[in-house]
Amino acid sequence: MDMYETGLEPGAANHVPLTPLSFLGRSARAFPHKTAVIHGERRISYGLLQERCVRLASALRGAGVGAQETVAVMAPNTPALLEAHYGVAMAGAVLNAINTRLDAATVAFILRHGGAKVLIADRDYCEVVRAALADLDDPPRVIDVVDPLGRDGHGASMAIGREDYEAFLASGDPGFAWEPPVDEWQAIALNYTSGTTGDPKGAVYHHRGAYLNALGNALAFGLPHEAVYLWTLPMFHCSGWTYTWAVTAVGGTHICLRNVEAGRIFGLIREHRVTHMCAAPIVLNMLGHAAERPQDPFDPRVRVATGGAAPPSSLIARMEAMGFDITHLYGLTETYGPNLLCQWQREWNDLPLELRARKMARQGIQTITAEAVTVRDRERDTEVPADGETLGEIAVRGNTVMKGYLKNPEATANALRDGWFRTGDLAVRHEDGYIEVKDRLKDIIISGGENISTLEVEEVLYGHPDVMEAAVVAKPDEKWGETPCAFVTPRPDVEIDADELIRWCRERLAGFKAPRHVVFTELPKTSTGKIQKYVLRQQAAEL
């Protein structure tokens, strides 16, 4: 042992496991009377939030939940789901927030696979949850969240279990001596991916990753302690991209939101002076095209982070005029949400809209706490050159990568291979190092040895005024190997000609990228709204 180790071992005074539970404790000390949560007319201070979470932990223990057992929640963005992000871990248990858009069979699968001992369920989902429970041999104990703001007022006819969440909390001891994790590698959350094929996989988060990703995102998104955060992103989605913990870390205010409705969102932004929110591209689209758009831009302006598809320039312009400033992010369930962000560069401010939109279209550069995010050649497993052309797979390494998939060593080993989490997303690196996603690995088309990004072709199709939805997949071809085949849903009451659409694409894309076939149809989707390309591929093969 050298002199910098001898007698300098870690001890209780200088080594504490990282956990986002610290954030709540700190904010309860720093801001005991400040409003932590707003839900309709309700206000919960940080002092009270801490007390409610401790009660929840105590009540869960009383209900027989043991260390590292699972507590599931099926709820929209309400105080109950936020509290579960702390109270469940304070009981030493693991939170499994379930996607509320899933069907009963999938919910049943998740409850069975995750082994939930307790299910906290909002009565909005009484039908699905009842059906899922009926499917289980050993159903969890059910606690109902009864919320007057819920669907149909959440009357007794919507009951799922026999207990009420508020009564359950009241049964908990506010003086319960909960214990922080002994090891920061301990699990804190279980989030199932919404795979487009096969059973969902349960990504396991640990306390260390939750803590670090929350701090990294607070810095990336510039959350001040005066932050007012509107919950337009589901908390069940990657633990709300860890903003469930990040907003609490800075002592900001969480604004709950049961349903994503443009009018309600605009009203809440105005009423509470919202500063930050996250949202899927579809939500931005809805806001940008809402009939009841506000006349004057919001003051203060609202910073909105979005993942997935790049926002088109027309949408950016609309959003900016309304007072929104967009940040583009990238992440997956396996990476606690955002690990790349399109870090804004000051010199971009002066670019014309179209060029700014091109910059913003990229998913960007790793956040501070994401140790390494890069694009790797699939064969040689080296970083691809920053030429904006060479396609590789996005790979992530660091403390904000999941522990692995629950009870699925094969999928875990396949995902966490040779020191990297392999995302299955194909991308390029631009000259400035910014990463841009081109396609899902399994969706890319290889035609005559050339890669065709289906996203790129779909983007062109979406640009056609008569196209409502579009998906492009590979069709086997004797000569070329594969050729692009487009499945298109036209806007209502509109007819489009396949040849005209192909011409439209040829004018905007290299010839080999334009679809050879166009099929007009409804697109098959999962219960969460993802297009099932594997179904389309089968159809294309049979054409």
Q: Which stretch binds a copy of itself (CB under 8 A): 306-314, 398-406, 483-491, 532-540?
A: 398-406
Verify binding: residue 330, a copy of itself, rule CB under 8 A. Answer: no
How many residues in the shown chain lie near a copy of itself by CB under 8 A?
72
Q: Single out the residue of 23, 86, 165, 229 in contact with a copy of itself (rule: CB under 8 A).
A: 23
Q: Which stretch binds a copy of itself (CB under 8 A): 29-37, 265-273, 436-444, 479-487?
A: 29-37
Structure tokens at 19: 């956990």
Q: Which is nearer to a copy of itself, 172 or 251 (CB)?
A: 251
Residues 6+ apart with CB under 8 A from 27: 34, 36, 46, 248, 249, 251
Binding-site string for a copy of itself from residue 77 to residue 106, where x marks contact by CB under 8 A and - marks none: -----------------x------------
Q: Which is nearer to a copy of itself, 66 or 529 (CB)?
A: 66
Angle at alpha carbon of residue 266, lines to 326 and 305, rounded to 5°: 20
Q: CA–CA distance from 68 to each of 80, 152, 412 (Å)?
A: 20, 36, 20
Residue 130: Cβ-neighbour burial (10 angstroms; 0-12, 13-18, 19+): middle
Q: Single out the residue of 2, 41, 350, 542 in contact with a copy of itself (rule: CB under 8 A).
A: 2
Element (H or E) spanning 429, and its range?
Answer: strand 420-429
**How big is the chain, counted in residues?**
543
Residues 6+ apart with CB under 8 A from 238: 191, 331, 332, 333, 335, 336, 337
Q: Give least dist CB 363 to a copy of itself, A.
A: 13
Give which of 226, 230, 316 is closest to 277, Cα–Cα: 230
Report 45-84 residues binding a copy of itself (CB under 8 A).
68
Q: Single out the residue of 15, 162, 380, 479 in contact with a copy of itself (rule: CB under 8 A).
A: 15
Report 343-382 residues binding a copy of itself (CB under 8 A).
343, 345-346, 365-366, 368-369, 371-372
Q: Single out the residue of 3, 156, 177, 291 in contact with a copy of itself (rule: CB under 8 A).
A: 3
Verify binding: residue 419, a copy of itself, rule CB under 8 A. Answer: yes
Q: Is 115 left (phi over 0), alpha (psi -120 to 50) or beta?
A: left
Q: How many CA atoms lie within 13 A of 440 on its CB side?
A: 16
Q: Single out the residue of 417, 442, 503, 530 in contact with a copy of itself (rule: CB under 8 A).
A: 417
Give which of 32, 21, 25, 144 is closest to 78, Cα–Cα: 144
* Dihedral of alpha carbons 447, 436, 441, 420, sign: positive
Verify binding: residue 249, a copy of itself, rule CB under 8 A. Answer: yes
Report 473-512 residues binding a copy of itself (CB under 8 A).
none
Strand partners, 272: none
Q: Single out the residue of 399, 423, 454, 483 in contact with a copy of itself (rule: CB under 8 A).
A: 399
Q: Single out the residue of 363, 412, 454, 483 in contact with a copy of itself (rule: CB under 8 A).
A: 412
Give the residue carrying structure tokens 């804004």.
344
Structure tokens at 362: 């990229």
Query: What is the C-alpha separation between 94 and 204, in angstroms, rounded?
Result: 9
Element (H or E) spanning 471, and its range?
Answer: strand 467-477
Q: Give least dist CB 35 to a copy of itself, A.
A: 11
Report 291-320 residues binding a copy of itself (CB under 8 A).
none
Report 427-446 residues binding a copy of itself (CB under 8 A).
432-433
Q: Give least dist CB 44 to a copy of itself, A.
A: 18
Q: Which is nearer to a copy of itself, 186 or 244 (CB)?
A: 186
Q: Are strands 253-255 and 420-429 parallel, antiparallel or unpaired?
A: unpaired
Q: Are 502 and 515 in contact (CB under 8 A)?
A: yes
Binding-site string for a copy of itself from residue 199 to residue 238, where x marks contact by CB under 8 A and - marks none: -----x----x--x--xx-xx--x-xxx------------
Q: Single out the residue of 142, 228, 326, 402 in contact with a copy of itself (rule: CB under 8 A).
A: 402
Q: Give least dist CB 130 to a copy of itself, A.
A: 27
Q: Single out the residue of 60, 268, 406, 471 in contact with a copy of itself (rule: CB under 8 A).
A: 406
Q: Which stretch binds a copy of itself (CB under 8 A): 149-157, 395-403, 499-507, 521-529?
A: 395-403
Give which of 519, 524, 508, 514 is closest to 543, Cα–Cα: 519
Q: Single out the residue of 16, 105, 494, 543 in contact with a copy of itself (rule: CB under 8 A).
A: 16
Query: What is the C-alpha separation between 99 and 194, in angstroms, rounded?
Result: 9
Q: Single out the residue of 43, 289, 378, 407 in contact with a copy of itself (rule: CB under 8 A).
A: 407
